[in-house]
């Protein structure tokens, strides 16, 4: 799990994990990143709760656009 960024006001962190495409493509742009990988993102709060985000994405920009962030 890779740490991406922290929102200090919401007290949450964004993390991603690399997943194998197995024929899947980015949920937003329909492609893969230049290494042919996709990522799944999740939010972890300071109180220990985790929330998986829907979709698989080639980069954080596609993730943010898909989820209107």
pLDDT digits (tens, 9 = 90+) for 9-65: 999 999 999 999 999 999 999 999 999 999 999 999 999 999 999 999 999 999 999
Structural domain range at position 53: 2-66
pTM: 0.89
Q: Number of structural domains, the chain?
A: 1
Q: How many CB atoms lie within 10 A of CB 26?
A: 20
3-state DSSP call for residue 65?
helix
Which one-letter DSSP state was computed for residue 53? P
């Amino acid at each position: 799990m890779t740490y991406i960024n922290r929102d200090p006001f919401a007290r949450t962190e964004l993390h991603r994990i690399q997943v194998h495409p197995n024929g899947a493509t980015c949920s937003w742009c329909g492609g893969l990143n230049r290494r042919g990988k996709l990522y799944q993102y999740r939010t972890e709060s300071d109180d220990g709760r985790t929330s998986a985000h829907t979709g698989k994405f080639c980069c954080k920009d596609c993730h943010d656009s898909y989820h209107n962030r």
